[in-house]
Structure 1
Amino acid sequence: MSIKRTQSGLARAKAEGKVLGRPRTTAGDRAKIVALHATGLSFAVIAVQFGIGKGPSTPS
């Protein structure tokens, strides 16, 4: 029952034009992240600076 209601709500939101899911990291941000990491900063510190998680990302 609750799965159907969740799926129904997601379908309705998508039909209304809402963007679902996690926000994408822009190409510009990725370049900055790579540059900061090359200077020796850890991904944890960089993630805090950008306000994002430090988990794995998927290529776009």
Structure 2
Amino acid sequence: MTEPQPIGPTVTPKLEEPKFGFNKYAERLNGRAAMIGFALTLLIEYLTGQGLLSWLGLN
């Protein structure tokens, strides 16, 4: 009897390391941070009943 062959890639793919400047990794991270910030802003406005600038005392 022969052994079953493993399923999947036999060669490790070469992954591109993150570089400085604009790249897909940096853009994805920036987008996620922006979504979290926007959601937190909406949560602050909902819970306090004030706008973000008023809550910070800037308005």
Taking structure 2 as the reference length, the TM-score comes to 0.29
Larger-gyration structure (1/2): 2
Name the one with the larger helix percent: 1
TM-score (norm 1): 0.29
